[in-house]
């Protein structure tokens, strides 16, 4: 057994050596895989690396990734956050917890056209933080709810993490997208329930009262939500009804977001170029990580390490629940040091045989892994949402991390809800119309 796991020690040593040296994650993965191929196989490493990188980069499913990123970049440069706040606030003001619900609902709405947790957080936060602070809402609640709700960008379609998971595990991205809708809404409702409970139980919850508005005035303000709701319907509806694949829906989304930006007067030559370059940089980074992970998966496959680990886990005779609990802790721990996409692509070659052997639904597991990766977005030291919020609020990292703890615990509860009611993630994809392609 020790001999079978010797490659694992080498892989981990080289990986931590490269990451600790400040090498980019994608290049570190390529380096680890190259060393593994040279030490443990007879196949020429250079030839294998070229073939694998080309195969991973030429995946048609991956085409959706830069398009969805570009859509989010375009919308980030529009007046979307101001319009969402104006449209949502009249309806949220009368709920228990008041305008704090705009953090959750705003993030849920923007997540449905962004796919990125950071873009969701920045877009909603740049408007909601100053507005809520001006109305004397508790600062910890403003920061905490925003940190938690922004992670919905990873689950509600179009999710960049689900695209990467689908490409890595060779599963339909459209099905994964549709599977994320109901769990995403349930998690958002759990966040809103926490806000309502806090408003009743906390003695320091004394925000300024909002002015009364008639029903007609509320409806008038709601017109600001129409463009973004139409865009959501176009992107998600076209996939669910089978009119478009994920890639085609992404193309619709880019065209729709450009039209929305043009109607708002936000689509200038400078904004267009900045959005294109922003999408290119992000897409290139993710593509490099995927290429490195693909080569690492091949290298590990030659050593027999994934099979040996799966057999070792099987020999422990863990129940499905025990396996899922072990994986939850595992992903939370590595999420403290790696971003979500890196966590998925780095581990899926080892984890996939385990979950298939345990009879766990691949689509359901995609949603499970996204919830757990969401937790990593708000856990130090590498919780990306915490860094974004630190830049926006100038608070210490400890202050922001403590504010996000209740949202982290709600996500833990969401994991158990998913395990107890797997149909939350599986019913919609099993009953959707077939799309014309992958």
Asked whether the beta carbons of 354 and 316 are under 8 A apart, the reply is no
Q: Is 266 within the bounds of a domain? A: yes
pLDDT score for 309: 65
pLDDT score for 115: 67
Is pLDDT at 337 greater than 70 in this prediction?
A: no
Q: Is 15 within the bounds of a domain? A: no
Average pLDDT over residues 411-426: 91
Q: Is the pTM of this model over 0.85?
A: no
Q: In terms of Cα–Cα distance, which of 29, 28, 46 is closest to 38?
A: 46
Two tokens, residue 147: 């940190």
Choose the most confident range, by mean pLDDT, from 25-34, 114-123, 210-219: 25-34
Is pLDDT at 359 greater than 90 in this prediction?
A: no
Alpha carbons within 13 A on the beta-carbon side of 189: 7
d(CA 170, CA 9): 28
CA distances from 60 to 157, 170, 298 (A): 18, 11, 20
Q: Is 214 within the bounds of a domain? A: yes
Q: Is 338 within the bounds of a domain? A: yes
Residue written as token pair 């689900």:
162
Quickly count: other Cβ atoms within 10 Å of residue 115's Cβ. Answer: 30
∠ Cα 119 123 127 (to 5°): 160
Average pLDDT over residues 6-14: 73
d(CA 387, CA 55): 34
Two tokens, residue 258: 């450009």
Number of domains in the chain: 1
Tens-place pLDDT, residues 182-217: 998 999 999 999 998 988 887 777 777 767 777 777
DSSP assignment letter at 418: H
3-state secondary structure of 421: coil
Q: Is 303 within the bounds of a domain? A: yes
Q: In terms of Cα–Cα distance, which of 313, 299, 304 is closest to 354?
A: 313
User: 379 falls in which pLDDT band (50, 70, 90)?
Assistant: confident
Tens-place pLDDT, residues 55-90: 766 666 677 778 877 887 887 777 776 777 777 777
d(CA 253, CA 235): 6
Residue written as token pair 């929305």:
260
Average pLDDT over residues 220-234: 80
Residues whose CB is less than 8 angstroms from the CB of residue 342 and which lie 6 or more positions away in sequence, other chains included: 25, 289
∠ Cα 271 131 142 (to 5°): 105
Q: Is 97 within the bounds of a domain? A: yes
Phi/psi for 219 (5° steps) reads -65, -40
pLDDT score for 410: 92
d(CA 103, CA 181): 18
Q: Is 2 within the bounds of a domain? A: no
Asked whether the beta carbons of 186 and 77 are under 8 A apart, the reply is no
pLDDT score for 432: 66
Of the candidate ranges 181-190, 207-216, 254-263, 404-413, the one whose mean pLDDT is the lowest:
207-216
Is pLDDT at 103 greater than 60 in this prediction?
A: yes
Average pLDDT over residues 358-364: 88
User: 421 falls in which pLDDT band (50, 70, 90)?
Assistant: very high
Q: In terms of Cα–Cα distance, which of 97, 99, 162, 61 is closest to 374?
A: 162
Q: Is 438 within the bounds of a domain? A: no
Whole-angstrom Cα Rg for the chain: 22
pLDDT score for 350: 76
Print the domain residue range for 95.
27-431
Alpha carbons within 13 A on the beta-carbon side of 392: 25
Asked whether the beta carbons of 235 and 249 are under 8 A apart, the reply is yes
- 294 vs 323: which has the higher pLDDT: 323
Is pLDDT at 171 greater than 90 in this prediction?
A: no
* H helix count then E strand count, the chain: 22, 0
pLDDT score for 437: 46
d(CA 344, CA 296): 13
- 379 vs 381: which has the higher pLDDT: 379
Residues whose CB is less than 8 angstroms from the CB of residue 27 and which lie 6 or more positions away in sequence, other chains included: 18, 288, 292
DSSP assignment letter at 152: G
Alpha carbons within 13 A on the beta-carbon side of 233: 6
Q: In terms of Cα–Cα distance, which of 20, 24, 43, 13 is closest to 299?
A: 43
């Amino acid at each position: 057994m020790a001999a079978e796991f010797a490659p694992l020690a080498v892989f981990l040593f080289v990986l931590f050596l490269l990451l600790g040296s400040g090498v980019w994650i994608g290049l570190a993965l390529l380096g680890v895989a190259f060393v593994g191929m040279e030490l443990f196989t007879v196949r020429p490493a250079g030839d294998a690396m070229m073939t694998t990188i080309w195969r991973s980069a030429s995946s048609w499913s991956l085409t959706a990734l830069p398009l969805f990123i570009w859509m989010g970049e375009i919308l980030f440069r529009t007046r979307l956050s101001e319009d969402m706040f104006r449209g949502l606030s009249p309806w949220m003001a009368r709920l228990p917890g008041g305008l704090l619900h705009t953090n959750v609902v705003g993030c849920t709405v923007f997540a449905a056209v962004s796919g990125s947790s950071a873009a969701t957080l920045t877009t909603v936060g740049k408007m909601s933080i100053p507005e809520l602070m001006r109305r004397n809402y508790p600062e910890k609640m403003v920061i905490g709810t925003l940190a938690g709700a922004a992670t919905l960008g990873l689950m509600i379609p179009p999710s960049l993490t689900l695209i990467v998971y689908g490409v890595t595990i060779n599963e339909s991205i459209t099905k994964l997208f549709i599977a994320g809708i109901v769990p995403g809404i349930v998690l958002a409702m759990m966040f809103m329930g926490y806000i309502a409970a806090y408003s009743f139980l906390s003695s320091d919850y004394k925000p300024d009262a909002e002015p009364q508005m008639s029903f007609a005035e509320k409806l008038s303000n709601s017109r600001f939500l129409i463009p973004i709701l139409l865009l959501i319907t176009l992107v998600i509806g076209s996939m669910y009804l089978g009119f478009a694949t994920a890639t085609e829906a992404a193309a619709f989304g880019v065209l729709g977001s450009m039209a929305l930006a043009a109607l708002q007067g936000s689509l200038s030559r400078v904004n267009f170029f900045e959005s294109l370059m922003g999408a290119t940089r992000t897409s290139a980074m993710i593509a490099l990580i995927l290429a490195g992970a693909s080569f690492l998966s091949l290298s590990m496959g030659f050593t027999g390490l994934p099979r040996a680990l799966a057999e070792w886990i099987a020999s422990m005779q863990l129940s499905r629940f025990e396996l899922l609990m072990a994986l939850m802790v595992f992903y939370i721990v590595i999420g403290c040091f790696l971003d979500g996409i890196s966590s998925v692509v780095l581990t899926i070659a080892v984890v996939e045989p385990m979950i298939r052997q345990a009879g766990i639904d691949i689509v359901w597991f995609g949603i499970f892994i996204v919830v757990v990766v969401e937790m990593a977005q708000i856990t130090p030291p590498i919780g990306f949402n915490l860094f974004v919020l630190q830049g926006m609020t100038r608070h210490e990292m400890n202050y922001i991390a403590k504010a996000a703890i209740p949202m982290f615990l709600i996500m833990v509860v969401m994991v158990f809800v998913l395990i107890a009611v797997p149909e939350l993630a599986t019913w919609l994809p099993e009953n959707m119309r077939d799309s014309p392609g992958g």
